Amino acid sequence: MDARLDYFGNPVGGKFMKAIISANKGLAGSTLPATVQELVRMRASQINGCAVCLDIHTKEAAAAGESAVRINLVAAWREATVFTEAERAALELTEQACRMADGGEVTDEAWANAARHFDEDQLAALVAVISLINAFNRVNAIVRNPAGDYQAGQFA
């Protein structure tokens, strides 16, 4: 499958992608655990149907030492016993944020649960991770960037 548009190669698309990649650098040094960040990126990418982001983040998580069991169970995190309460809170917030267009909202309960596990700086980072992966997901899903060829560390 070929992408509909070489978004990175397009002057407008490339400029936009550089800007959101730069925004992603704002997470550097965040105390939000890298594991939580990757779980959130994987779950959002599953919900949003972004194969290329799912390819990237499952491989990055595996390269960072995440177990195959946890990677494979992200889609069914509610029924899985391998996630911490903090990870569950982050995944719930992610799902609600990704599904707002379906008539939902991020509930006060989901926010309060996340706030029990993460401090204010971590919550800010969590909101940023969710927002950024949604932007990446939208671009890649719209232009149908193909997945499968990513190598861990490729964009480092």
Q: Give me the tens of pLDDT residue by residue for the chain, a chain 156 residues long.
A: 789 999 989 999 999 999 999 998 888 889 999 999 999 999 999 999 999 999 999 999 999 999 999 999 999 999 999 999 999 999 999 999 999 888 889 999 999 999 999 999 999 999 999 999 999 999 999 999 888 888 887 777
Cβ burial of 43 (10 Å; 0-12, 13-18, 19+) is buried
**Residue 73 is part of which domain span?**
11-143
In sequence order, the 6+-apart residues with CB closer than 8 A to the CB of 111 are 93
Question: Has residue 62 been placed in a domain?
Answer: yes
Residue 46: predicted pLDDT: 97
Predicted TM-score of the model (pTM): 0.93
Question: Has residue 153 been placed in a domain?
Answer: no
Residue 103: predicted pLDDT: 85
Residue 107: predicted pLDDT: 96
The total of structural domains in the chain comes to 1
Residue 118 belongs to domain with CATH number = 1.20.1290.10
Residue 128: predicted pLDDT: 97
Q: Which residue has the tokens 């989901």?
A: 110
